[in-house]
Structure 1
């Protein structure tokens, strides 16, 4: 008998995954691929859209041919700040420009001077000034650098909605993609910012659909529901919003460690914006205050440095146990220098060096997370992703937040699970399981 499943494409910058979830949200099948990057017309690295399209379509065909599974729905999550420009025939006109691509200073100044200055604009759009990472700025750049291209653009889609479009054929915009540091959304008015109208760009945007909308779709003779796609950081919080009613903060850890507080409705302050805070829109359309830290990236760089210096395999640090004696926590202060500037000969062992690296990262994490806790009645912190499995990180985090209940949360793929949960009704009239998330408590006392 075939297993009813929801299929999710979880598209990261490097890793592209397809996961199949059964009705209990257990992963019953997983396929992963790394796709080689392409370059844009300036030679800057970018996602290869053709390869990505082939991966989605070929993987879809293979799972539909599998006699074990009955696919009830397909949904998509991917990284944000990436736009696909379609012509009148629904074909991409450009490469998928990389959000790390440098943005011209002159054009940046032109935009912000026209629309109220950086501080005021960032306040209204809950988007720190991030250049190409503000995806709206990519569209603005096309208007002024390549006006002939703009004339050919019929529809602009965020990457998750482009992936959905490949299967459903429907052109829509999703609120979680608009609401992630895009410069598109005016949080003070809860609508698109006026600059899009002033620049004559509103007609390029597909209509907004509900994040949990399901499109009845036929693909090579198979009928199923297609979701409209979600921004990955917004998808990752959905299992928590469904499972817990008491206020919490989620620290979603990976290359970026993003602290998300869905229980803080206060407007972003100038100080928070300057400290890399922003607001996301969660799948029901309400704001989630967030702060970002590039901690996973720093961890990777510094582990390489420690492993090389001590002639140890990097795998040694993956399972290292917490040893409090290697740190002087009772003299905890905030004045320790950044670990990247630390001479490794100062440490008596590789374990001591690694403990101090994690301590340095957790200090930064405390400052980052504290920004979005202030002013809310949160007393729980959940950590998921890579650092949730790191006992040194978790013990030190609980030490830094002694007044909080700190939990390592584990589940089968938070982002993909959240993406599946929004189309849960495709399973029929069955309740959502109440054991989606496994928690491990850490006490810093």
Structure 2
């Protein structure tokens, strides 16, 4: 059976899948690897351990008698650079994008390049410190010039994994185009600061996501994709009518591939950004820390009502409870004005839990508040674009309260829970489809469940 292998590298879970020609998963392995620490003691990915895991799994796959490996691709978390010298040796730890960024260095940078406001709009990158991966290169250059000197190439993580197998260094637009400070979205080319700082020579040429590198043993190897951009590929292939994908996990990210209006500064202040698709089209996106908030608040609820933490899994949508809560909130919170930023802070944080007679009612209130935040966030990317459908995937797509409230909040848009095994891995496989798979792509890759409002 012909297969493609996809390494799907998340911050916590590392997975590898084999997909057959119908894009069904036929074999998989996953692992949580121990982190290490960088020279400042900050936790980070152990690049050696990761490298060995990838190579070991590959050897294992090649030994499997039932499968013929035709192609390999990678989808990994973004915002992380691997620096290699001319012999391909890794020169630094894989710095964590959550690491604090030196304030002085940051303000010096933005002063030099026309200030945060202009720069953020041009590069579609809210000011996020280390999460703007270009700033990691700038930091290396300023703080460790002797190491920077020896850097032949700065590779985003997906491209480094591809390099491991091909020994060819490339850049990829989905990794460059996600809040990295590297790309000028107005001119659709690298921002000029890279040249001025002597960095552009250390960024390898761009390689297109749909093209592959052929190895001596006839393997087609992709150059790798940023996982958020990869996860949208199955949808853009399956649906032509304008839609928004609401990808839910720790972050809830609303992605609109049909909104190509340039990012405004206000949007960037509201945690909007642009991602690049592998087809080089920008995707307007808005982020909300909703999954994290849900985790924090369900712990608080469990403590208050003295029940197990996962009790919410047994709570189903109840119209009556919602109507009662709305009547109650109408009296307290009307006209609806919050004296805080609804995107940064969930209204539920301020609610007194003793007002709720039981867990079920309080949990419905939490979901009302989270969905209210979500509607605000998603509307930032729907704004002025002809969206007909919203697809929700990830954790919240399985939550009946969330889905029903969301459908009700968007009466003119069809809302679906979408389930698909491993969207970002599947996207990376589909991106290189033409290079390994003779069959046409089927249109049943995504299971949809419609929610009436």
User: What's the CA shift for 1:371?
Assistant: 0.4
User: What's the CA shift for 1:301?
Assistant: 1.7
Contact 1:217 1:225 in 2 (8 A): yes
Cα deviation per residue 1:155-185 (whole Å; 9 max; x = unaligned)? 0000111111112221100000000000000
> Which segments of 5 or more consecutive residues in structure 1 lack a partner in the other structure?
none
Tell me, yes or no, if structure 1 residue 157 matches structure 2 residue 155.
yes
CA distance in 1, matches of 2:303, 2:276: 42
Question: Structure 2 length as normaliser, TM-score?
Answer: 0.94
User: What's the CA shift for 1:442?
Assistant: 0.7
Q: Secondary structure at the match of 1:61?
A: helix
Q: Secondary structure at the match of 1:208?
A: coil
CA distance in 2, matches of 1:51, 1:210: 28
| Match in the other structure for 2:130 | 132
CA distance in 1, matches of 2:381, 2:29: 36
Cα deviation per residue 1:233-255 (whole Å; 9 max; x = unaligned)? 00010001000010001001111
- 1:384 pairs with one of 376, 393, 396: 393
CA distance in 2, matches of 1:318, 1:72: 41
CA distance in 1, matches of 2:141, 2:183: 19
Moved more, 389-398 or 424-433: 424-433
Q: Secondary structure at the match of 1:366?
A: helix
Cα deviation per residue 1:33-88 (whole Å; 9 max; x = unaligned)? 11111111001111111111111111111111111211111110111110001011
User: What's the CA shift for 1:346?
Assistant: 2.3
Question: Structure 1 length as normaliser, TM-score?
Answer: 0.96
| Match in the other structure for 1:36 | 34
Tell me, yes or no, if structure 1 residue 324 matches structure 2 residue 319.
yes
Q: Secondary structure at the match of 1:121?
A: helix
- 1:193 pairs with one of 174, 191, 194: 191
Contact 2:251 2:290 in 1 (8 A): yes
| Match in the other structure for 2:341 | none
User: What's the CA shift for 1:302?
Assistant: 1.6
Listed as ranges, the matches of 1:233-312 within 5 Å are: 233-312=228-307
User: What's the CA shift for 1:427?
Assistant: 3.4
| Match in the other structure for 1:118 | 116
| Match in the other structure for 2:376 | 367
CA distance in 2, matches of 1:416, 1:311: 39
Q: Secondary structure at the match of 2:258?
A: coil
User: What's the CA shift for 1:305?
Assistant: 2.1
CA distance in 1, matches of 2:409, 2:421: 27
Moved more, 326-335 or 44-53: 326-335
CA distance in 2, matches of 1:408, 1:167: 37
Contact 2:389 2:413 in 1 (8 A): yes
| Match in the other structure for 1:342 | 351
Moved more, 193-202 or 303-312: 303-312
How many residue pairs were aligned? 439
> Which segments of 5 or more consecutive residues in structure 2 lack a partner in the other structure?
339-345
| Match in the other structure for 2:95 | 97
